[in-house]
Structure formats: C-alpha cells, structure tokens
Amino acid sequence: MPQDKANRKEIILDSVIDLLATRGLEGVTHRAVDEAAGLPPGSSSYYFPKKAALLLAAAGQLADLLEKDCEDMQVGFAETVARAGMAAAVDYVADELATYADTARNLFLARMELTMASARREDLAGVGAQLTAAARRPIAFFLKLISEGRADVPVDAFAGFIDGMTLMYATGQGPKPTREQVAAVFGSIL
C-alpha cells in the first residue's frame, strides 16, 4: 500500500479513537470521522464502508497504541529496577499509572467505549477481550516481577481496581489516582 494510503488510514483510525473518547460510539459516523481527520467527505467510507469495519480497525489501532505504551512502561520499569531497586520500580509503576489517567485519557475512554460496545454488539465480538488483554499485559508483567514470579497473583483484581479508579477519574466521578493509591493496591494484592 502506498505510504499516502497507509497514512490516511492511520489518520482516520486515530480520529475514530478521539471521537470514541469525546462523543462515544454514537458520535462515530463516517462524516464525523472525515471532519475530525480533516479529510474530504467520503474518505473514511472509502477505506471502511461499514461502521463495524471502521470500529474493528480502530480497535486494532487502539490495541497497538496500548501495546506500545505497555512496552515503554516495561522498559522504564526494568531500567528503574536496575538503577534503584524494586521499591523504586513499584513507585515508578504507580507514578506511570496515575499519570496515564491524564496523558492517555482518550485511549482509556475509547477502550472503555469499545469494550462496552463489544458486550452489546455481535459485530464487535472479541474487541473487549482484545483491548483488555492489551491493557492488562503490563499489569501482569509488573505483578509477576514484583511478586518474584508467584503464580497466584490476582492480575484481574489489580487491573479491576486500576480500571475502576481511572474510570471514576476520567468521567469526573472521582479524584485522579495517586501514586500512593496505586502502591497501596499493589501492596494489598501482594
């Protein structure tokens, strides 16, 4: 595929993610995507004729973005462990997760929107599991390292606490998660 087409698709999918975060699933229309992307009318429907195809592709793009963020956090974690020890690395993870609530709010809200939609729409089946796996991968990585490889570490419980705190903050229902809260959740689970 020529670079221009690949770049257009990426712009379209990034615009879908932003629309999911700001307007929700119902706010994602081909016309709204074209406007948000700054592309001529009909651009998004050329690449993705059906809304379901547009949402599935955006879910794939979102999973890729989450995976990239996860990889960056894992590198930072490993560097912090090597430089300052495990306690400092736990603080690093807590800081990163608390900061992520602001810096990646749109990704979080888009993930929640698509996850909810996948529970209701047959044409989006599997999207929730795909996005949840991408978002929980770094949590599983951190917990495994912090617990020294224990097999009984409740990754789902920790991820649920973090998602809950972040959802409350992202929707204006609660305060920003703090490093202390996240570290306390780590400590209570381990």
* Among 135, 127, 166, CA closest to 25: 127
Superfamily of domain 3-189 in the CATH hierarchy: Tetracycline Repressor, domain 2 (1.10.357.10)
pTM of the model: 0.86
Domain ranges of the chain: 3-189
**Tens digits of pLDDT across the chain (190 residues):** 444 777 999 999 999 999 999 999 999 999 999 999 999 999 999 999 999 999 999 999 999 998 888 788 888 888 988 899 888 887 888 888 888 888 889 999 999 999 999 999 999 999 999 999 988 888 888 888 777 777 888 888 888 888 888 889 888 999 888 888 888 887 776 6
**Angle CA(3)–CA(24)–CA(136) in degrees, nearest 5?**
75
* 131: phi then psi, degrees, rounded to nearest 5: -75, -35
